[in-house]
Structures are given as structure tokens and as C-alpha cells.
Structure 1
């Protein structure tokens, strides 16, 4: 006898969840009951109310997206309960769920977390994996528990990080994996008795929310550390430094760079070497970062050779992390 479609209610906000909810919508084995996301928030220079990336997609597909201020409010929990879901799926939502929602459905809440748990629990697992120079990451399919990403794990789908992996490119990889695997994972949980295995909590690491100020480069750190930050901060918040123009400091966004061996003698961190339309920056570990693309304050992104034509920088000048 053919099994009835599994009734799923979906909760998410980040773009990483879009391939997953698309897969749920398209699968004949799933009955997607509804979608919830964060309320619209001010965004951009004009601070206009803007839906979350996932809500934007869902609304374009004709979903009436629910946007409760508090996901565990009794009103919202009662609404989801009235739909009688078999399981609730949560991806990159941004609020902790309380027990009244965690235990609402017969198969509880399933969370797709963007790390290999128990590592990188918290708000910035993709960013933190890139910043940490990890060789692999993945999505953990987890049975949600009361704590932050502490639940038992049903299955983990791993991916390899490339040498120049950015947060943006890794998010796309993990989103694709989640979209391809989620339907089968749900089926195995609901119909095939897939059991979750407790995490080794002694090995747990955590990562906090990243704010815009994190993108400021610190030349006293190693070149490798600064390069990882450049990768991790793409596409947001970007990385930057400051350079002297007359008696003023101007902001310079560093968009692309690489490690380089330099024959220069020991220089002060932030001191630059300009040669053959190339710009190298001394770092705190006696190594150098070569800058390839930049975005000067108030201008477009450009190759370093175009920037150097008008910047007036010479050997011995310094880039700085201090804006005063």
C-alpha cells in the first residue's frame, strides 16, 4: 500500500533553506502544509521593511508566509498544531524554539544545521568554518532539543572546502546538499525508523553572531589569518583597512588577496611594498599578503594596478586598522 504523504510545516529565514523548501514543495512524498519566517525587518540605506530571503522566495511562489514575532507564542503554536503536521522542519530561522513547539508534532522538530555537529553550534557556523580554515563542513540533520544545537543527530552530509572557499560559496554548497537530501532524511525518520545519535557534548564548540565591525583587518595578525577573514567575510560584511591621503584616512575595502613570499626585510605590520603595479602588505607573522582587488571609499571595485595609479602610495607607507 502506498504511504500517505508526510505532512511537514517549514520554519526558516536564511537563503540556505530555499533549496530545501523547494524540494519539499516538489516532492510527491511530502505535503507541505505551510511556511513561517521572521517578520520583515528594516534593510538598506532607506531602512525599508524587507522580507527574509526565504520569505521573499516563498511569497513569490504563492505561499502565505506566517511571520510571528515570537515563534513559540501560544497563538502561533496553536495555529501550527491545527494543521496536524507529522514533523516540523527548521532551517536557519534565528530564534530558539521552546518545548511547546518542539514536541508539537509526532516526530518533533527536525533542524538542518550548517556544520558537522558538535562543532560550530550557534549563529555563524558557515562563516566560522571558513574563518577557521576547515577542510570540510556539512549539514547535520538533527532532532531539536531545548539547548542551542544540542539535539541528537540523525545524519550528517559532508562537503569539502576549496582553497579559496568563501562563506557565500560554502553556503551555496550546503544549501544544495540540504535540498538534495532532506526529503529522504524525513522519510527515513518518519517511515523507516532512523534513530538519532547523541552528540559528544565534550567536543562541542560554539560560534556567535557576526556583526559588521568584524570585517576590519588587523595587520598585526598573520597573513593567513587575514586571508581567511577576507574569505569568511564574503559576501558580508566585507573586509577593509585605512590608508593615508594628505591629513585624512580613507577606507579601502580589500576584495581579493593571496599569500605571497617576499624578499623584503622585516617590516612593520601594515607597511606596504609597491612594485610593478603590485601591492604587498606586511603582516604580524613576518609574512605578506598581496592585494589584487580593492574598492576605495566612494568608488567602484577595481584591480590593484588601477588603484595604485591614483592613490599616491609608495614603499614604506602603512595601511592601518585605526580610523583616527
Structure 2
């Protein structure tokens, strides 16, 4: 099938790679977001999709807006039978959606209609879901509102991090994409409308969410830490006012009457913090201006002591 692929982050690379390695489809072009400046030197960084596409010798376009008449005309000239979208980062116009013979399909990292929007992987963990997945949908002009063509379910374990779930969804979604395209080509794909009344939204992450609120339950704090690992990470404040990123935690069966945020116990490999309900074990941290380290190393340097209050 003649395909134009639109995607930007690492999650989308899985789908593009699957299309390339299948050997069954002609990738006419890859469309990704413009390079953005990053870091202290504001060096322009290529998107992960662009890096992979160029390595495969594919043609890459990076329009500021895909809706412009000039770019829509380019798509018409390419004559794709299908446009595949995965975490692209721009809305497509009605004209683009209706341009290919088979329309546009999207690889979305949630079990729709749950967690429509920009950060479905993080929210699935932050909200304590026991499972997530990938939905392939036929795109319409709404935000992740199109009819569903197929789904794959991926379990979320008690200590699954966002990074681990991201990788699982990336791989499972890529495999599912190939199956769905085969069904589209064969005329056997069945589109199931979403139940809009069951829809929830995963809006853009707010930097204020990174600050741990110890008055929440241990489970809620644990979910936040997992959901923000490896990015953007969570943090708390030490008694000396310096920041401490929290990368790893475990649930415990302990309880404490101490104020939320109090270090109630330090062990050989970890330390324990009282929450609004329950106690959370902290296993991996990153002191301000230092590298990530096991809590054991942090404790050996007298990082925290019993009775310290984290804020």
C-alpha cells in the first residue's frame, strides 16, 4: 500500500519501523515536527522519527503546519492510499483526512475512549490503571474521537514505570498496525464507534505535577513517581531546601501517625516516608546537581535521617 507516515517521538518510531521492515508497503514520505532547539546551547535536535527515517533513506518533510495549502497540495501530488499517524503533534484538516483512498488512521497509546489526548501513557499509571493498550482508529476531525478499528491490551503491574509501559505499547501498537492495514486492504476492517460518554482525557502534563504532595496516599505518590519515570521525574524538598528527585519507590504495609512527608525509618537499602495514608519506601533518588543513585548510596552520605521532614 502507498503510505504517508506522520509521527514525531520515539513511540512513533516503532510503527514506522514495522512498516519499513514488513516489506509490504511503499513509504512515500515521512512527515514530522520541525527540529526544535534544546539544551544550554539551544542546538537544533532532530525528532526521533526524522532520525530513523533519514537512516532508512526515506523522504522527510517538516512543515510548521500541515494544513497550509502548499503542503496539502504536496500530499495530493504524493497520492497516498493511506496516511498513518502516530503521536504526530498536529491536527489534520478535513481535506487531509479525506485525501487518501482509505483515509487516515491513528496509533493511539490507550484503550479508547479512555485517555484521549497528549499524555495517555503517563495518565494510565498516575491514575492507577491495571491495564493500558493501543487503539488503532479511523481518524476524524475530533481529538482521538474516531471509530476504533482494533485494540491490544497491555497489563500494568504494581511497579511498572512509564518508560516500561511506553516500550511495551510501542511494540504492541506497531504489530497491531500491520494487522489493521492488512484488514483495510482486504476490506475486512470493522470500525466501532466510541462511546463518548465513557471518554476521559489525558491533557498536557503540568510542571506543578512533578512536586510530590506527601499528604496524598502512598499509592497515589507511588503512581506519580512511576508515571513520571523516566520523564519528567518527580521531586521533593529536603530540610535544607535543596531538591531531591525521587525515581524509585515501593508500596509497603506500614502505617504511621507521623506528619506527611516525615522520614520515619532509614534502612540499609532504602528509607520510608509517611504519607497522608500509608508509608512509601524510597529506593532510588537524585540529589540536586548529582546523578541518579540507589537510596543506599544516598543514605551512606547521610542524605536523610529519621525524623527529617520532606516538603
Pairwise same-fold verdict (TM > 0.5): yes
Please state how far the C-alpha of 1:75 moved relative to its aligned partner. Answer: 1.1
Residue of structure 2 aligned with 1:186, choices 142, 166, 181: 181
Residue 283 of structure 1 corresponds to 275
Residue 308 of structure 1 corresponds to 299
Residue 250 of structure 1 corresponds to 242
Please state how far the C-alpha of 1:312 moved relative to its aligned partner. Answer: 5.8
* Correspondences of 1:16-35 after superposition (within 5 Å): 16-35=11-30
Q: When the two structures are superposed, what TM-score results if normalisation uses the length of structure 1?
A: 0.91
Residue 252 of structure 2 corresponds to 260
Q: Give the whole-Å Cα distance in 1 for the aligned partners of 2:69 and 2:42.
A: 30
Which segment is superposed worse, 90-99 or 179-188? 179-188
SS in 1 for 2:60: coil
Residue of structure 1 aligned with 2:211, choices 206, 213, 216: 216
Residue 103 of structure 2 corresponds to 108
Please state how far the C-alpha of 1:263 moved relative to its aligned partner. Answer: 5.9
Cα pair 2:139 2:146 within 8 Å, conserved: yes
Residue 98 of structure 1 corresponds to 93
Alpha-carbon spacing, 1:263–1:78, altered in 2? closer, same or farther (3 Å)? closer
Please state how far the C-alpha of 1:108 moved relative to its aligned partner. Answer: 0.8
Residue 3 of structure 1 corresponds to none
Q: Give the whole-Å Cα distance in 2 for the aligned partners of 1:255 and 1:268.
A: 22
* Correspondences of 1:2-41 after superposition (within 5 Å): 6-41=1-36
Alpha-carbon spacing, 1:250–1:196, altered in 2? closer, same or farther (3 Å)? same
Q: Deviations over 1:257-299 (max 9, x none)?
A: 11223364x01111112344442111012x1111111111112
Q: Does 1:201 align with 2:193?
A: no
SS in 1 for 2:238: strand
Which 5+ residue runs of structure 2 have no aligned equivalent?
none
Please state how far the C-alpha of 1:141 moved relative to its aligned partner. Answer: 0.9
Alpha-carbon spacing, 1:152–1:312, altered in 2? closer, same or farther (3 Å)? closer
Residue 236 of structure 1 corresponds to 231
Q: How many residues align?
A: 310
Please state how far the C-alpha of 1:153 moved relative to its aligned partner. Answer: 0.7
Residue 117 of structure 1 corresponds to 112
Q: Give the whole-Å Cα distance in 1 for the aligned partners of 2:255 and 2:226.
A: 26
Alpha-carbon spacing, 1:262–1:191, altered in 2? closer, same or farther (3 Å)? closer
Alpha-carbon spacing, 1:184–1:59, altered in 2? closer, same or farther (3 Å)? same
Alpha-carbon spacing, 1:260–1:142, altered in 2? closer, same or farther (3 Å)? same
Which segment is superposed worse, 142-151 or 130-139? 130-139
SS in 1 for 2:99: coil
RMSD (Å), alpha carbons: 1.5
Residue 81 of structure 1 corresponds to 76
Cα pair 2:27 2:58 within 8 Å, conserved: no
SS in 1 for 2:113: coil
Cα pair 2:258 2:264 within 8 Å, conserved: no
Q: When the two structures are superposed, what TM-score results if normalisation uses the length of structure 2?
A: 0.95
Please state how far the C-alpha of 1:81 moved relative to its aligned partner. Answer: 1.2
Which segment is superposed worse, 196-205 or 299-308? 299-308
